[in-house]
Amino acid sequence: MRDHNSGATRREALLAGGLGLAGALAGCQGRSGDGGQFADSDPLVTHERVGKGPEAIEYWTSEFYSPSEGESSQPAAAPAIRTQHRGWAETHPDYRIDLSYQAFDQWKNSLLTRASQGDPPPGSTLDSFWVPDVYNYLQPLTDYVDDVDDFFPFVRETATRDGDLLAAWKYTDCRCLYYRQDLVDEYGDGEPPRTWEDLVNLGGDIAAGEDAAGFLFQTGAFSNLPYFWGQGGRLVDDEGAPVLDEPANRRALVRTLGFLRRLVDEGVTPKRVANVAEYETLAREARNGQTAMFVGGNWQIEKDFKNVADDDRWRRWKVAEIPMRSADRFATGVGGWTEGVFLEGDSGRAAALKEFVSRFVEPEAMGRYCEAAGLLPTRQSVFENEDYFSSDTFPYQDRFRGFLEHGVARPAFPIYSTISSEFENAIGAVVTGQSSPEAAAETVIENVTEEYEA
Amino acid sequence: VATDSNPPTGDGGERLRDGIDWRTVVDHPLPWLLPALGLLAVFQLYPMVEAVRLSLTDASLLRPTAAYVGLQQYARLVTADEFWRMLRVTGVYAFSSVVLHVLLGLLLALAIDYGVRRGLYGHVTTRVAVLLAWVVPGVIIGLVWKVLLIESEFGAVNHLLGTVGIGPVAFRSDPTLALASTVAAGTWRGTAFAMIMLYGGLQRVPRELYEAARVDGAGRWNRFRHVTLPQLKPVLFVTTVLVSIYALNTFDLIFALTGGGPGRATEVLALFMYQEAFAEHSIGRAAAIAVVMLAANLLLTAGYLRAFDVREEL
């Protein structure tokens, strides 16, 4: 009897516990399902969400783009983002964007892994160079974004496929030559080098006269592709097939690698450049007086010089176009970040999300954000509208705008990933003397062709 | 057939209403092995089978569908120069690592064992210090060594070398030195594991054997050669196998220290596999590399099993 009773008691206890748990879960469900989980006094936009509607839409992004100053990695830009999000939330009371912040290192891999299994997030912020890799999964934004012709050409070429705009490119950046004006005055004629020859001569003199490198660069592909593009080189044709084996392109590739090798051979650049993988390393060496010139990103003058300097010494650093083989044709690599939608359709949640994303590239929102964050708009009209974007807010914005005229984006084809990693390996092999420019170029061409054909 | 009315068996076993003889069940090894087998099947066997399956496809992260392509991925691998270059780099790295880990681990284990037996101070501190290197994740070790080996006066090692007029040495930008640096960093970390294993092995060598050898007039070298080494053989085998697997599969440390560079001078197979999967997005090819690595590990273990001749001891 006792056993029987105790068994019944256990069952009763389990039943009661189960009912309690089910009730609690039902309560939770009821709260989120009825749309009443937020009080009127709750803010419309927080670090975790945009809007208070019952219909939640997950969105992957970075803490750089948080609308909350306290959580944002760029607090100065948070008010502009918050204003933009509030506008969307007020017009979409039934929906809510749940912001999911991603660790940068794993973001792209997680996104591609989920997308290839048919389960991408509804939407995500995307580095512009990821866009070609997710073409197959992105949904068109054409009907939601106005005046696509206003974007710089490189934006239209990369973000558009078969006439559809697939990503909202919200800001861009460019690479340029940073140089110490005082050293250029002392060792040169005060003008920054415009050609490879100028750079080797001036850099060599500075390296010989100072305890510093004449010139440094990041060994990544994108920092060095402008040398190739500046000779008229093409990586792929209009269909995305690699064309590096065409004589003119092969020649441009060999010359580019030869120039980088020459920089090391002639002592302008130390061999340790092979280990420079981050732009921050270049800025740190520049601040420490270890280099006189380097190719960096436009954002660095504000972030890595002005903001970390205790005095006006950052003003010694000026910017110019990247020196080219000849001074009649310049090029720079342009990047930046975009927003994309993976939800199919043009109604309900998909429409709400596409409208959310399209707001990032509305001229006013773009101008306010770029002005606050010190970034470059992707719409030409925004540069010209003082109400939206004042180019006086950050140093050299007008110069950067000029550099964008020669902007070249990464080719909008998946084979670019292979070209990029092969070119980077070739640079490493050439500057460390493992390979001649000709042999390294041949390896690049062989491996890219083999990958494309496979 | 057992039923509700069946009497107890009388041997202490219990027959339940559904007819299960628990004594038989408890005495059978299968129920005890099932949890382990289940875990192995889910976390080891399934991924392995999936890797083999993927290696026979053209799976890519850039598209949702994949087609079976037979052995095409393997054919691409063996006809690529870069694969053989990386196999060579992996071989050099793994061989150097195994030799250094085991030799230095053995030296440390002998030194600590000697210290313990003599009651010398400091042996606990030494063990803890060596173990610290083992508990730190490989990525952190890679980053620490990366900072130590900076190729200017800001790098600790080059700063010290500079004080005696040497350098700066191109530890990471010279291809040969870069590979040597990865081996050094890996050895700094992995020696601790070999030391722990071999120190444990030394504890189970009967002291009487040393006494008998001493009585027979054996000197230190002969005692080491004819008593210590034969007694350590099973532990040496296990240590060598584990260190080899660890060295062959090293990824995190090299990824953080050199990223496979300069060029591809330190790109080992594990790093190549990662690059294929997440830079080239070619999951099929990455899976083929994984299968090749698995085969290499199995072959090496079989080779060790034969070379050490320890089947009976195991």
- B250-296 pLDDT, tens per residue? 999 999 999 998 989 999 999 999 999 988 889 999 999 999 999 99
Which has more confidence, A307 or A150? A150
Kindly identify which residue of chain A lies nearest to residue B274, measuring between CA atoms. A109
Predicted confidence at residue B133, as pLDDT, reads 81
Partner residue opposite B261 with nearest CB, options A134, A428, A447: A428
Q: Name which of A352-361, A378-387, A390-399, B268-277 the model is least confident about.
A: A390-399
Q: pLDDT band at residue B46, thresholds of 50, 70 and 90?
A: very high
Q: Residue A447: is its pLDDT beyond 80? A: yes
Selected residue with higher pLDDT from A1 and A121: A121
From the list A133, A137, A271, the residue facing B173 with the nearest CB is: A271
Mean of pLDDT values over B164-172: 88
Helix (H, G, I), strand (E, B) or coil at A207: helix
Q: Is the separation of the CB atoms in B68 and B158 below 8 Å?
A: no
Here the tokens at position B223 are 């005692």
Measured between beta carbons, which residues in chain A are less than 8 angstroms from residue B78? none
Enter the DSSP assignment of A410.
P
**Over 90: is that where the pLDDT of A192 sits?**
yes
Instruction: Count residue pairs from A and B with Cβ separation < 8 A.
Output: 98
Number of neighbours of residue A200 by Cβ within 10 angstroms: 22
A116, A414, A435 member nearest B263 (Cβ): A435
What is the rounded average pLDDT for all residues in chain A?
89
**Does residue B17 surpass a pLDDT of 60?**
no
Residue B158 has pLDDT above 60, yes or no: yes
pLDDT reading at B5 higher than 50: no
How high is the pLDDT of residue A383? 87
Share of residues in chain A with pLDDT > 70 (%): 92
Chain B interface, Cβ < 8 Å to A? 58-64, 72, 76, 80-82, 151-152, 154, 168, 170, 172-175, 259, 261-265, 275, 278-283
Q: What is the number of residues in chain A? A: 454
pTM of the model: 0.79
Q: Which helix (H) or strand (E) holds B84?
A: helix B81-118
With CA atoms as reference, report the closest residue to B272 among B131, B87, B125, B121: B87
Mean predicted lDDT score pLDDT of chain B: 88
Average pLDDT over residues A108-122: 92
| pLDDT band of A36, cuts 50, 70, 90 | low
pLDDT of residue A34: 42
A302-313 mean pLDDT: 85
The mean pLDDT value for B235-261 works out to: 93
Contact B264 A272 (CB under 8 A): no
* Spatial separation of the C-alpha atoms in residues A425 and B261, rounded to whole Å: 8
Say if residues A336 and A169 touch (Cβ distance below 8 Å): yes
Query: What's the first-to-final CA gap in chain B, in angstroms?
Result: 42
With a pLDDT cut of 90, the percent of chain B lying above it is 61
**What is the model's pLDDT at position B130?**
79
To probe the interface with B, which of A216, A275, A287, A420 has the most B CB atoms within 10 Å?
A275
Peptide bond into B35 cis (omega under 30): no
Whether A21 has a pLDDT exceeding 60, the answer reads no
Average pLDDT over residues A310-332: 91
Which chain A residues are Cβ-neighbours of B64 within 8 angstroms?
115-118, 136-137
Mean pLDDT calculated for residue range A178-202:
96
CB B98 within 8 A of CB B106: no
pLDDT (average), residues A415-430: 93
CB contacts, 8 Å: A450 with chain B: 76, 80
In this model, does residue A31 exceed pLDDT 80? no
* Contact (CB, 8 A) for A383 and A377: yes
SS3 category, B312: coil
At residue B77, does pLDDT exceed 60?
yes
pLDDT of res. B13: 47
Token pair recorded at residue B266: 């330190």
- Check whether A26 has a pLDDT greater than 50: no
Chain B nearest CA to A418, separation (Å):
6
Structure confidence at residue B279 (pLDDT): 85
Compute the nearest-CA separation of B270 from chain A (Å): 17
Dist. CA B201–CA A352, nearest whole Å:
67
Give the chain A residue nearest B176 (alpha carbons): A434
DSSP B196-216: HHHHHHHHTS-HHHHHHHHHT
Helix (H, G, I), strand (E, B) or coil at A179: strand
The distance of A343 to chain B (nearest Cα, Å) reads 15
pLDDT of A3: 42
Q: What is the percent of chain B with per-residue pLDDT over 70, rounded to a whole number? A: 92
CB A429 within 8 A of CB B264: yes
Distances from the Cα of B161 to the Cαs of A271, B57, B152, B157, in angstroms? 18, 52, 11, 6
- Measure A417 CA to nearest chain B CA, in Å: 6
Please give the pLDDT value at position B129: 82
pLDDT at B12 over 60: no
CB A405 within 8 A of CB A232: no
pLDDT for residue A425: 93
Q: What is the mean pLDDT of residues B64-72?
A: 90
